[in-house]
């Protein structure tokens, strides 16, 4: 029965990690069209880095959870766009757009959303198993 309770911890850590992933995707998409006057000022896409955390070492006790090790910025160069009449244009007439690929971000959002939904299903199934186990004890 204690193994069923561990599933809540594992799924909970995965839900938290996917929530961070969804938030970074939302931030990237919200800033995808923001212009800047220099490459240094341009928004850079952010991506979470996940780490697996091993808990317990004995036989039958080992479980793993997920945690967010950090959020890193993409090192890809911002896109230069010639727009001489834009108020943020530099001396050469360029503005700089973020290095966000909206198609990749949409794929990340779908993947994170499905992972989140799967972990909710794991938690719901675990809850149902625990309730049925308790019902068996009442009979």
Q: What is the DSSP string of 93-106?
A: SEEEE----HHHHH
Under the banding of pLDDT at 50, 70 and 90, the label for residue 2 is low
Phi, psi of 39 (to 5 degrees): -60, -35
Q: Please tell me what DSSP assigns to residue 36.
A: B
**Does residue 92 form part of some domain?**
no
**Does residue 85 form part of some domain?**
no
Rounded Cα distance between 25 and 33, Å, is 14
- In the prediction, which pLDDT does 118 show? 94
**Does residue 58 form part of some domain?**
yes
| Span of 29-38, 40-49, 56-65 with lowest mean pLDDT | 56-65
**Does residue 68 form part of some domain?**
yes
Please compute, for residue 117, the number of CA atoms within 13 A of its CA located in the half-sphere on the CB side: 6
| Mean predicted lDDT score pLDDT of the chain | 90
Number of structural domains (the chain) is 1
**Does residue 84 form part of some domain?**
no
Predicted model pTM = 0.82
- In the prediction, which pLDDT does 57 show? 65
- Which tops the pLDDT comparison, 53 or 27? 27
**Does residue 27 form part of some domain?**
yes
**Average pLDDT of the segment spanning 2-24:** 87
In this predicted structure, the answer to whether residue 132 has a pLDDT above a threshold of 90 is no
Domain that holds residue 110: 2-32+45-76+102-132
**Does residue 97 form part of some domain?**
no
**Does residue 106 form part of some domain?**
yes
In this predicted structure, the answer to whether residue 6 has a pLDDT above a threshold of 70 is yes
- In the prediction, which pLDDT does 130 show? 86
Under the banding of pLDDT at 50, 70 and 90, the label for residue 71 is very high
The total of other beta-carbon atoms located within 10 Å of residue 55's CB is: 13
In this predicted structure, the answer to whether residue 139 has a pLDDT above a threshold of 70 is no
């Amino acid at each position: 029965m204690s193994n069923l309770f561990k599933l809540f911890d594992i799924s909970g850590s995965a839900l938290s990690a996917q929530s961070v992933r969804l938030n970074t995707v939302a931030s990237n998409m919200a800033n995808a069209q923001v212009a800047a006057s220099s490459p240094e000022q341009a928004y850079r896409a952010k991506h979470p880095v996940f780490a697996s955390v091993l808990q317990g070492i004995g036989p039958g006790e080992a479980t793993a959870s997920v945690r967010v090790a950090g959020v890193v910025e993409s090192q890809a160069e911002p896109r230069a766009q010639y727009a001489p009449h834009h108020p943020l244009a530099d001396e050469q007439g360029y503005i700089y757009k973020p290095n966000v690929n909206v198609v990749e971000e949409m794929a990340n959002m779908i993947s994170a959303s499905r992972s989140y939904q799967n972990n909710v299903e794991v938690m719901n199934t675990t809850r149902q198993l625990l309730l049925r186990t308790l019902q068996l004890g009442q009979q």
